[in-house]
Chains A and B, each alone.
Chain A
Amino acid sequence: MTVELRELRRSFGGTVALDGLSLTIEQGELIAFLGPSGCGKTTALRCVAGFERPDTGAVFIDGADVTRVPANRRDAGMVFQSYSLFPNLNVRDNVAFGLRVRRRPTAERHDRAAELLELVGLGGFGERYPHQLSGGQQQRVALARALALQPKVLLLDEPLSALDAKVRVNLREEIRRLQLELGITTIFVTHDQEEALSVADRVAVLKSGRLEQVAPPAEVYDRPATPFVAEFVGTMNHLPGRVSGETVEVFGQFLPLDGTAPGEEVDVLVRPEAVRVAPADDGRGFILASSFRGSIARLRVQLDGGGEVLADVPGHEAVRLSPGLKVDVTLVERPVLTAPRTAVAAPVEPVS
């Protein structure tokens, strides 16, 4: 079952939530809608679910235009951000709710509910009530409930954002496992880039109701299509550079350009892991701060000419590279993206 969004536009009062969003989600694919709040990702999902109707444009599920089909006839299972279990029903009846609406016999309802609860790892929890479950368990039940009717599409609206970090990681892996097992076409809305990159087949990055880039996670990270994507996904350093021909000069290094540069004076976008830091008495800066994160340590380097650079170094080097140390900064030789020079980047004259 494919899902196609065609030229979706939707505004609320003066605010434009969707501005001509077009996207096709393939059968069995898990696509993550990623973007800051207000980027239109949830509105897009709600258009697929039938809770919002686009001002113009159309939604197709499995080739059929469902734009005007009411939410209760859409055949799309949804898991919500807030706990959405019916408080007056026990877990089994929650899972079987959709079957009950469809007047399936009791035996079938109970069997199906038991089967699904087993699937989400909550076998034997059928008699409990929602308030007796933890947040993670509630979202598992919500997932089972959404899957009970074997919908064509699974819609996940930030299902993990109310949960603890550890539960969040476990559950997102579980969701991915289930999704692959059932081969169900899934849209996963999130503002958490790590979540999007780790579970999705493709990530669609949205900004102001428009698609900035849609690509597999590694591509979104390594080859961001726009400065916005580069900025939003992962951390980016903005380093002042000067373009000359096919290369750009940063810190005295000449790096090949990725794409075309927007001018001569540009910001060069570099990931912290592409920055090398080595102790040097005559270096161009000193370590301002270091935050240890286990496998890596992120260093904040103050440059002599003003401005800062973030650099990721292996965790075991954190002891050697301690704050106050004079260091030299170099960049890994590979094509770099550039953006128009912004006021954000402190003016640093490259030492050459």
Chain B
Amino acid sequence: MAGVTWRRVTLGVAGVYFLVPLAIAVWFTVYNDTQGFSLGAYGRIVSAPGFTESLLKSLLLGVAVIVLVLLLALPALLAVRLGAPGLRPVLETITTLPLIVPPITYVVGIANALRGGTDALAATPFWQTIISIQDENFPVVLVLAYVMLALPFAYRSLDTGLRAIDVRTLVEAARNLGASWPYVLFRVILPNLRSAVAGASFLSLALVMGEYTIAALMGYRTFPVWIVTVSGNDGQLSVALSVLSLGLIWLLLLTLSGAGRKSK
């Protein structure tokens, strides 16, 4: 009995801690003393210039990051697990590095590389490439940067998923029954890893939808950057934006975890 009570108290305190500020924020966006109740702040978001454009750009970046990070991490994890278990600590360390390097250092590095690269490649056909990856509408360079940042989260999520299944035996059983490597990967491993893949995808997406430093310093107008620019002098609008993006992320989380659960 004491256990149950204690659990409820803990849950209650945690709930208050998270929900009260949120509720106050929502209240602040829909009510003020002069106008009373109004959804005006949310209306102003949608009509603010650049909303759709920056949101779509960020979502697109998110999808690209998810695809790339999965294509990179999953085969690497499988290869290490099956072929060279001794390298696991190495992989673990490498995927932790992006957490250690501060984003600002990261930006300076990328900017320098791009500047130096542009000069060095000026006389070669690769010049066009280095220019096009910096395209304002779909900055590939940002995708690459975010893939690095997402790697620690994606790696850990996938690693947990792989731990839960006997990968080696499943792979060998499938190989023994005539399955090619791609068949093994897509028809045997992935279906049994659905919730881990969903988790990795969600974390990557959440990262892209919230990353400000790199995009801002490199001059790209992603959704988080847009939020900051547009909310500069309108308090109610900026809080409404926070609430909106929080709601958006939650929605995505629910969708992805729903997709993950379907596998059971």
Q: Please, which residues of chain B bring their CB within 8 A of the CB of A74?
A: 176
CB distance from A218 to the nearest CB of B (A): 33
- Subset of 27 A-B contacts with CB under 8 Å: A70-B175, A71-B172, A71-B175, A72-B176, A72-B177, A72-B179, A77-B177, A78-B172, A78-B173, A78-B176, A80-B169, A83-B166, A84-B169, A84-B173, A86-B188, A87-B165, A88-B263, A97-B174, A97-B177, A98-B178, A101-B174, A101-B178, A101-B183, A102-B178, A142-B173, A149-B177, A149-B178
Contact of A49 among B176, B180, B191, B263 (CB under 8 A): B176
CB of B222 closer than 8 Å to a CB of A? no
Q: Most chain-A CB neighbours within 10 Å: which of B172, B173, B179, B192?
A: B173
CB of B170 closer than 8 Å to a CB of A? yes
CB 8 Å contact bits of A34-61 with B (1 = contact, 0 = none): 0000000000000001110000000000
The answer to whether B177 touches A145, judged by C-beta atoms less than 8 angstroms apart, is yes
Q: Please, which residues of chain B bring their CB within 8 A of the CB of A88?
A: 191-192, 263
Closest to A51 in B: B172
CB of A73 closer than 8 Å to a CB of B? yes
Contacts across chains A and B counted by CB atoms under 8 Å: 64
Q: Please, which residues of chain A bring their CB within 8 A of the CB of B192?
A: 86-88
The answer to whether A80 touches B183, judged by C-beta atoms less than 8 angstroms apart, is no
| Chain B residues with a Cβ closer than 8 Å to the other chain, count | 18
Say whether, besides A87-B192, A88-B191, A88-B263, A82 and B177 are in contact (CB < 8 Å): no
CB distance from B190 to the nearest CB of A (A): 10
Contact of A72 among B170, B175, B263 (CB under 8 A): B175
Say whether, besides A86-B192, A87-B192, A88-B263, A101 and B179 are in contact (CB < 8 Å): yes
CB distance from A99 to the nearest CB of B (A): 9
Q: How far is the CA of A74 from the CA of B172 in the complex (A)?
A: 12
CB distance from B90 to the nearest CB of A (A): 18
A101-124 residues at the B interface, CB under 8 angstroms: 101-102
Q: How far is the CA of A246 from the CA of B184 in the complex (A)?
A: 63
Q: Please, which residues of chain B bring their CB within 8 A of the CB of A86?
A: 170, 173-174, 188, 192
Q: Please, which residues of chain A bring their CB within 8 A of the CB of B183?
A: 101
The answer to whether A101 touches B177, judged by C-beta atoms less than 8 angstroms apart, is yes
CB of A76 closer than 8 Å to a CB of B? yes
B175-211 residues at the A interface, CB under 8 angstroms: 175-180, 183, 188, 191-192
Q: How far is the CA of A262 from the CA of B239 in the complex (A)?
A: 92
Q: Please, which residues of chain A bring their CB within 8 A of the CB of B175?
A: 50-51, 70-72
CB distance from B46 to the nearest CB of A (A): 41
A124-145 residues at the B interface, CB under 8 angstroms: 142, 145
Q: Please, which residues of chain B bring their CB within 8 A of the CB of A50?
A: 175
Q: Please, which residues of chain A bring their CB within 8 A of the CB of B165?
A: 87
Q: How far is the CA of A73 from the CA of B183 in the complex (A)?
A: 14
CB distance from A280 to the nearest CB of B (A): 57
Q: How far is the CA of A101 from the CA of B184 in the complex (A)?
A: 10
Q: How far is the CA of A71 from the CA of B168 in the complex (A)?
A: 14
Q: How far is the CA of A149 from the CA of B178 in the complex (A)?
A: 9
Closest to A88 in B: B191
The answer to whether A84 touches B178, judged by C-beta atoms less than 8 angstroms apart, is no
Say whether, besides A51-B175, A78-B172, A86-B173, A72 and B191 are in contact (CB < 8 Å): no
Other A-B pairs beyond A77-B177, A101-B177, A149-B177, 18, CB < 8 Å = A49-B176, A51-B172, A70-B175, A72-B175, A72-B177, A80-B172, A83-B166, A83-B169, A84-B166, A84-B173, A87-B192, A88-B191, A88-B263, A97-B174, A98-B178, A145-B177, A146-B176, A149-B178
Closest to B184 in A: A72
CB distance from A210 to the nearest CB of B (A): 26
Contact of A80 among B173, B179, B180, B263 (CB under 8 A): B173
The answer to whether A73 touches B178, judged by C-beta atoms less than 8 angstroms apart, is yes
The answer to whether A72 touches B180, judged by C-beta atoms less than 8 angstroms apart, is yes
